[in-house]
Amino acid sequence: MASSSPLYLGFDLSTQQLKGIVVDDSLKKVHDAKFDFDADAKGFKIQKGVMVNEAEHEVFAPVAMWLQALDVLLGRLKDDGLDFKRVKAISGSGMQHGSVFWNADAEQLLAQLDPKKTLESQLDVAFAHPYSPNWQDASTQKECEEFDAILGNEHQLANVTGSKAHHRFTGPQILRFQRKYPDKYIKTKRITLVSSWIATVLLGRFAPFDISDVCGMNLWDIKAGKWHEKLLELAAGPSGVDALKQKLGDVPEDGGAHLGSISQYFVRRHGFSEDCTIIASTGDNPSTILALPLRHNDAMVSLGTSTTFLMSTAEYKPDPSTHFFNSPTTPGLYMFMLCYKNGGLARERVRDAINSKFNVADKTSWTEFDKHLLSTPPLAQDSSDPMQLGLYFPRPEIIPDLPAGEWHFAYDPQSDTLTRVNSVPQSPEQDARVIVESQFLSLRLRSQHLVSSPADGLPPQPRRVYLVGGGSRNKAIAKVAGQVLGGSEGVFKLDVGENACALGAAYKAVWAMERQPGETFEELIGKRWHEDEFVERIADGYNKDVWDKYALALKGFQDMELALLREEEAKKKAS
């Protein structure tokens, strides 16, 4: 590869870290680096990347910390040998739904950055509010009820915007923000999502939302391809729709839009080329599906802080329990998503309990957890004992809509009897199996009507399951994923599994710069992608016996959720 050949940089600003990955035009990774918020950030009182106000169920992140992360990460990429001059384009991915409130000084501050100083020291005064509401926030129950009601009900809102109202979605968050902080709202010149925040800093001026990430706001009419006036009116409050429209800006239809050249700050401070192009940045989940040319009936499961299940589909079938977004690159395609708040951190709680019981010196080691995950039989069921089912939600959950808590049930599929129990028979060892199964059973339950039979004689299931995110390092979890979800060709991991969002962003930059007129992302990336080099088969998928066993468990799992939802409903009515 000539040392002057182009390189493409992708960023991923997620809950717990900022990652950067650089690929060449044959899609091979040449550099990567990361900045871990808890381990590396200086001067912020965060835990797992966020701050929490329990009293109001608020979860938020300090925006200045992300500036510090970008400063340091670029230094780390340089240390890794990156020649910034060769970077032809940059795109980013950002955790979805989070909003950043820029003030009236921001444009000037962005345009006049001094290359001798850090971003953090110059831009920390560019915000009307120093924090970005995080996707784990649950403070907007009242606002969500207003969003669902204004179009009639949650089904109508899902039909129009791809999702019913969710606490974390940006529309309900803006509504709460303008009520809680009316002065700060008036002082807000521009609202960016986390994805367009990255593009804004790199461009040195406000960047628009992208066509996929805008669907995570409950404000965008997906079929009409424009803002929904009634929803804007609700979110905008007394200062009106026009003021909110100005704060939101336009939304280019082309996911590969060239937004402009990189800001002079980065040219002078880091040696980027003057014509390095900034490409529209998207959400971390839309970006994840760009990490490979995903085929129909393939599923991706992102095991990050959140757990998400992603498929690319031409059918728009919105439902209050799922999400639909526009494809980040390809008009006519949509992304189907399930999103769970209690993913990595919930599994870590069980890991920590096991490590503590067995006095494991390295508290972050997964070895003991994996041992018990694999040695416990499916559903922690010995011979004719009942199946063990459980829900583990350290934080209030999205699917199903339940508060924080942990619940256990024993289920006998023969008699279809579900009995509440206090815990698994051997806690915490068997919890390793039951929590991982619980997370995958929920995915299977909710995706069963979206998948089709991948081959004659096989029940509907994904053709392949691709695991990405931090948890994809774990082969024991991968094995259980295959047992529960199936996958006629098996379970795969991307070569850069934990960096899939950043990789998807880098691939989007390649496509945006090198596409021929009309050439889709799937066509261009499909031609350059080398399956044998980029993915690894890490576990078997479909196995009839165990698949059938989990099919029986699904009924009990669904009944368990319904029983708990009914209980919650009764509690709400009584209070």
Ligand X SMILES: Nc1ncnc2c1ncn2[C@@H]1O[C@H](COP(=O)(O)OP(=O)(O)O)[C@@H](O)[C@H]1O
Question: Is residue 22 within a helix (H) or strand (E), and if so which, with residue range?
Answer: strand 17-24
Alpha helices for 252-302 (secondary structure H): 264-270, 284-288
Give the x-and-dash track for 333-372 against ligand 5SP (CB under 6 A).
Answer: ------x---------------------------------
The amino acid sitting at 311 is: M
- Contact between 447 and ligand 5SP by CB under 6 A: the answer reads no
Tell me the backbone φ, ψ of residue 119, rounded to 5 degrees.
-65, -45
Residue 366's binding partner among ligand 5SP, ligand X, none (Cβ under 5 to 8 angstroms by kind) is ligand X
- Contact between 305 and ligand X by CB under 6 A: the answer reads yes
Question: Is residue 132 within a helix (H) or strand (E), and if so which, with residue range?
Answer: strand 131-133
Residue 93 DSSP SS3: strand
- Six-digit token string for 128: 């009307």
Q: Which stretch binds ligand X (CB under 6 A): 109-117, 463-471, 505-513, 535-543?
A: 463-471
Tell me the backbone φ, ψ of residue 255, rounded to 5 degrees.
-65, -15
Residue 288's binding partner among ligand X, ligand 5SP, none (Cβ under 5 to 8 angstroms by kind) is none
Tell me the backbone φ, ψ of residue 558, rounded to 5 degrees.
-65, -40
**By CB under 6 A, how many residues form the interface with ligand 5SP?**
14
Q: Which stretch binds ligand 5SP (CB under 6 A): 268-276, 299-307, 428-436, 490-498?
A: 299-307
The distance of closest approach from Cβ of residue 138 to ligand 5SP in the complex, given in angstroms and rounded to an integer, is 12
- Contact between 206 and ligand 5SP by CB under 6 A: the answer reads no
Strand pairing partners for 20?
A: 11, 33
Q: How far is it, in rounded angstroms, from Cα 514 to Cα 89? A: 10
**Please, which residue, 371 or 555, has the CB nearer to ligand X?**
371
Whether the upstream peptide bond of residue 428 has omega within 30° of 0, thus cis, is: yes
Among 9, 22, 95, 465, binds ligand 5SP (CB under 6 A): 95
Q: Which stretch binds ligand 5SP (CB under 6 A): 94-102, 105-113, 198-206, 235-243?
A: 94-102
516-553 burial, b for 16+ CB within 10 Å, e for fewer?
eeeebbbebbeeebeeeebbeebbbbbeeebbebbebb
- Contact between 305 and ligand 5SP by CB under 6 A: the answer reads yes
- Contact between 57 and ligand 5SP by CB under 6 A: the answer reads no
The distance of closest approach from Cβ of residue 20 to ligand X in the complex, given in angstroms and rounded to an integer, is 13
Question: Residues 122, 115: contact at Cβ < 8 Å?
Answer: no
**Please, which residue, 68 or 93, has the CB nearer to ligand 5SP?**
93
Q: How far is it, in rounded angstroms, from Cα 523 to Cα 79? A: 34
Cα torsion angle, 28, 211, 443, 433, sign:
positive
Q: Strand pairing of 220-221 and 258-261? A: unpaired
CB-hemisphere CA count at 13 Å for 3? Answer: 3
- Contact between 474 and ligand X by CB under 6 A: the answer reads yes
Interface positions, 492-521, toward ligand 5SP (CB under 6 A): none
* Alpha-carbon distances, residue 185 vs 174, 215, 510 (angstroms): 9, 22, 37
- Contact between 96 and ligand X by CB under 6 A: the answer reads no
Residue 242 DSSP SS3: helix
Residue 498's binding partner among ligand 5SP, ligand X, none (Cβ under 5 to 8 angstroms by kind) is ligand X
The distance of closest approach from Cβ of residue 183 to ligand 5SP in the complex, given in angstroms and rounded to an integer, is 28
Q: Which stretch binds ligand X (CB under 6 A): 101-109, 258-266, 328-336, 465-473?
A: 465-473
Tell me the backbone φ, ψ of residue 112, rounded to 5 degrees.
-120, 35
Residue 168's binding partner among ligand 5SP, ligand X, none (Cβ under 5 to 8 angstroms by kind) is ligand 5SP
- Contact between 308 and ligand 5SP by CB under 6 A: the answer reads yes
**Please, which residue, 17 or 261, has the CB nearer to ligand X?**
17
Residue 152 DSSP SS3: coil
The distance of closest approach from Cβ of residue 361 to ligand 5SP in the complex, given in angstroms and rounded to an integer, is 28
- Contact between 344 and ligand X by CB under 6 A: the answer reads yes
- Contact between 86 and ligand 5SP by CB under 6 A: the answer reads no
Question: Residues 391, 450: contact at Cβ < 8 Å?
Answer: no
- Considering only CA atoms, which of 269, 310, 320, 316 is closest in space to residue 287? 310
Q: Which residues does 555 contact at the CB level (< 8 Å), separation at least 6? A: 413, 416
- Contact between 366 and ligand X by CB under 6 A: the answer reads yes
Interface positions, 489-508, toward ligand X (CB under 6 A): 498
Question: Residues 72, 11: contact at Cβ < 8 Å?
Answer: no
**Please, which residue, 471 or 487, has the CB nearer to ligand X?**
471
Among 58, 154, 298, 348, binds ligand X (CB under 6 A): 348
- Contact between 132 and ligand 5SP by CB under 6 A: the answer reads no
Interface positions, 140-199, toward ligand 5SP (CB under 6 A): 168
Task: Name the residue number minimizing CB distance to ligand X.
Answer: 470
- Six-digit token string for 182: 């009316």
> Which residues in this chain contact ligand 5SP in the complex, by CB under 6 A?
14-15, 95-97, 135, 168, 284-285, 304-306, 308, 339
Binding site for ligand X (CB under 6 A): 14-17, 304-305, 344-345, 347-348, 366, 469-471, 473-474, 477, 498
